[in-house]
């Protein structure tokens, strides 16, 4: 599956047209699955994708800690992969 990238200047937000363009690009990337063993994402799963842009490194660290990706000291938490 191709990687979809979109670069946004710090402090700027996407306008509605850019949000729609990004949604379409993500949907197109999902529809071009690279391997048949991987199921397509559902509309619910796709709706859970959110842009990740933070003003400060502190905000990023807070979000990563809240998501369980790092501990309170900033160390990366590793997990066993989940096979579906």
Buried/exposed 33-63: b ≥16 CB within 10 Å, e otherwise: eeeeeeeebeeeeeeeeeeebeeeeeeeeee
Return the pLDDT at 22: 82
Return the pLDDT at 10: 76
Confidence check: pLDDT of 19 > 80: yes
Confidence check: pLDDT of 33 > 70: no
Take residue 53 and report the two structure tokens written for it. Answer: 């842009």
Return the pLDDT at 3: 65
Take residue 55 and report the two structure tokens written for it. Answer: 């003003």
Closest residue by Cα to residue 50 from 25, 22, 28? 22
Return the pLDDT at 72: 83
């Amino acid at each position: 599956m191709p990687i979809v990238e979109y670069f946004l200047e710090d402090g700027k937000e996407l306008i509605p047209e850019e949000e729609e363009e990004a949604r379409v690009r993500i949907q197109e990337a999902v529809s071009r699955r690279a391997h048949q063993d991987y199921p397509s994402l559902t509309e619910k799963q796709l709706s859970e994708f959110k842009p990740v842009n933070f003003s400060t490194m502190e905000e990023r660290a807070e979000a990563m800690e809240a998501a369980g990706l790092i501990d309170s000291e900033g160390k990366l938490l590793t997990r066993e992969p989940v096979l579906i």
